[in-house]
């Protein structure tokens, strides 16, 4: 399908039915904790986000008087919801363990985790600048040199994860935040609730187990996920390609109705792309390659001429604003597992979540 010039549905599909039976919630490993007494070290302040199983607050560290974000997970509600999706608690544990293990300037950092009988408290970076694309819309527009700097940071963060065999699996504009208001030089990738560490495979991207379910956000999911094929780290590079395309021209490369039978035809309308460098277009094309084995890797992307400062391939003309994305933004959803016998193009009904 061609360009929709409109924003996608931002529903995250959280079905992760890799080969093998999912473990029951009660069999999930314990959350690695520092202490059970969160209130001894921190004080919750203003609520800044909420969902059925979790709420996010600004919190204040009593000793240093510094402010952080704190995700508070209600274990009872999580277990109730896990009756429909047994992997929810394991996904929370995986998110915590991944975030505690990574240290990169463009990835949100988890500092401490507390757990008591009723709740889990996850203390992390406070991202007070909001979403990157919201900032760009409010500001008006970027130029291509600024877009290069942003994409280079994202690519470096993804490469850091891929070197450690971590796949994010839900890279999208809503998961790219500013550390401070009006500062696009300090961006962080957030939300590792769908991430996973996988064993290395034989392909350039490292093969993983076959999945029979949708996972991610429509519009940013790679073709191999939509077709329920085995997938690799390359799914993150496809998502980066979509994000880069939107950053450059202001709209999606494909509309949100794409599915397993989509031809994934992409074009570059002259109205916007005539003012964008050929190097930028080549970068996007190498990321939005349907065959994952031919798709550019994170290491390859960092060496691409568009991201290489000394090449001077960027144009100086302002880029179109991605304001269509704000107009079409919708709440995130998490889908239950899709059985192998289900129709691959269809996703089951779901309930709203904030994970």
SS (H, E, C) 156-200: HHHHHHHHCCEECCCCCHHHEEECCCCCCCCEEECCCCCCEECCC
- Residues 158 and 103 grouped into a single domain: no
Query: Cα separation of 143 and 316, whole Å?
Result: 6
- Residues 191 and 305 grouped into a single domain: yes
Residue 134 tokens read as 């919201």
Total domains in the chain come to: 2
Please answer whether residues 53 and 77 qualify as being in contact, where contact means their C-beta atoms are separated by less than 8 angstroms.
Answer: yes
Give residue-wise pLDDT tens across range 176-229.
999 999 899 999 999 877 776 765 554 555 555 444 456 788 889 899 888 888
- Residues 119 and 132 grouped into a single domain: no
Query: Cα separation of 167 and 98, whole Å?
Result: 10
Q: Please state, rounded to an integer, the average pLDDT across all residues of the chain.
A: 77
Task: Kindly report the three-state secondary structure assignment for every residue of 79-122.
Answer: HHHHCCCCCHHHHHHHHHHHHHHCCCCCECCEEEEEECCCEEEE
Does 206 reside within a domain?
A: yes
- Residues 96 and 213 grouped into a single domain: no
Q: Which strand (E) or helix (H) includes residue 23?
A: none
DSSP state of 25: G
**pLDDT for the residue 38:** 94
Q: How many CB atoms lie within 10 A of CB 136?
A: 25
Q: At what angle do helices 88-101 and 75-82 cross, to 10 degrees?
A: 130
Give residue-wise pLDDT tens across range 87-121.
777 778 777 888 888 899 999 988 999 988 899 99
- pLDDT confidence tier of residue 318, bands split at 50, 70 and 90: confident
Q: pTM for the complete prediction?
A: 0.79
**pLDDT for the residue 339:** 29
**pLDDT for the residue 101:** 84
- Residues 81 and 214 grouped into a single domain: no
Query: Cα separation of 338 and 350, whole Å?
Result: 11
- Residues 311 and 332 grouped into a single domain: yes
Query: Cα separation of 70 and 167, whole Å?
Result: 24
Residue 355 has pLDDT above 80, yes or no: no
- Residues 57 and 202 grouped into a single domain: no
Average pLDDT for 63-87: 84
Does 221 reside within a domain?
A: yes
Listed residues 107, 124, 141: the one ending a domain: 124
Residue 145's domain comprises 13-17+128-352
**pLDDT for the residue 21:** 26
Give residue-wise pLDDT tens across range 32-59.
566 778 999 999 999 998 888 889 999 9
Query: If you write DSSP's letter for every residue of 225-274 in order, what string do you get?
Result: HHTT---BTHHHHHHHHHHHHHHHHSS-SS-TT--TT--------HHHHT
Most confident segment among 296-300, 312-316, 322-326: 296-300
What is the distance of C-alpha 324 from the center of its chain?
19
Give residue-wise pLDDT tens across range 139-190.
888 899 999 999 999 999 999 999 998 999 899 998 999 999 989 999 999 9
Residue 348 has pLDDT above 60, yes or no: no
Q: Any residues with CB less than 8 A from the CB of 271 and at least 6 apart, and which?
A: none
- pLDDT confidence tier of residue 86, bands split at 50, 70 and 90: low
- Residues 73 and 191 grouped into a single domain: no
Residue 118 tokens read as 């009723």
Catalytic residue ranges: 170
**pLDDT for the residue 78:** 84
For residue 111, the number of C-alpha atoms closer than 13 Å in the C-beta half-sphere is 14
**pLDDT for the residue 69:** 95
Which residue, 161, 335, 146, is CA-closest to 235?
161
Please answer whether residues 124 and 68 qualify as being in contact, where contact means their C-beta atoms are separated by less than 8 angstroms.
Answer: yes
- Residues 110 and 248 grouped into a single domain: no
**pLDDT for the residue 312:** 58
């Amino acid at each position: 399908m061609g360009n929709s010039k409109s924003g996608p549905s931002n529903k995250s599909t959280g079905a992760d039915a890799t080969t093998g039976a999912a473990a029951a919630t009660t069999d999930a490993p314990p959350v690695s904790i520092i202490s059970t007494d969160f209130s001894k070290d921190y004080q919750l302040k203003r609520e800044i986000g909420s969902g059925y199983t979790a709420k996010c607050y600004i919190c204040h560290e009593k000793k240093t008087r510094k402010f952080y974000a704190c995700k508070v997970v209600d274990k009872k509600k999580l277990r109730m919801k896990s009756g429909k999706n047994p992997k929810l608690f394991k996904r929370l544990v995986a998110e915590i363990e991944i975030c505690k293990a990574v240290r990169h300037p463009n990835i949100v950092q988890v500092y401490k985790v507390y757990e008591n009988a009723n709740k889990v408290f996850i203390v992390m970076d406070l991202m007070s600048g909001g979403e990157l694309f919201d900032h760009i819309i409010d500001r008006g527009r970027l130029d291509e040199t600024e877009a290069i700097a942003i994409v280079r940071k994202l690519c470096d963060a993804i490469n850091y994860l891929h070197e450690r065999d971590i796949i994010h699996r839900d890279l999208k504009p809503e998961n790219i935040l500013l550390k401070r208001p009006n500062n696009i030089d300090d961006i962080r990738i957030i939300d590792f609730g769908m991430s996973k560490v996988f064993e290395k495979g034989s392909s350039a991207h490292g093969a993983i187990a076959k999945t029979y379910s949708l996972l991610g956000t429509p519009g940013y999911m790679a073709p191999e996920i939509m077709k329920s094929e085995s997938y690799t780290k390359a799914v993150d590079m496809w998502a980066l390609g979509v994000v880069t395309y939107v950053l450059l021209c202001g709209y999606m490369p494909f509309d949100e109705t794409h599915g397993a039978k989509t031809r994934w035809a992409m074009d570059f309308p002259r109205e916007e792309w005539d003012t964008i460098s050929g190097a930028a277009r080549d970068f996007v094309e190498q990321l939005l390659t349907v065959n994952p084995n031919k798709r550019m890797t994170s290491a390859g992307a960092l060496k691409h001429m568009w991201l290489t400062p000394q090449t001077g391939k960027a144009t100086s003309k302002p880029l179109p604003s991605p304001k269509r994305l704000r107009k079409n933004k919708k709440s995130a959803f998490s889908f239950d597992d899709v059985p192998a016998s289900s129709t691959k193009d269809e996703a089951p009904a779901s309930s709203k979540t904030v994970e």
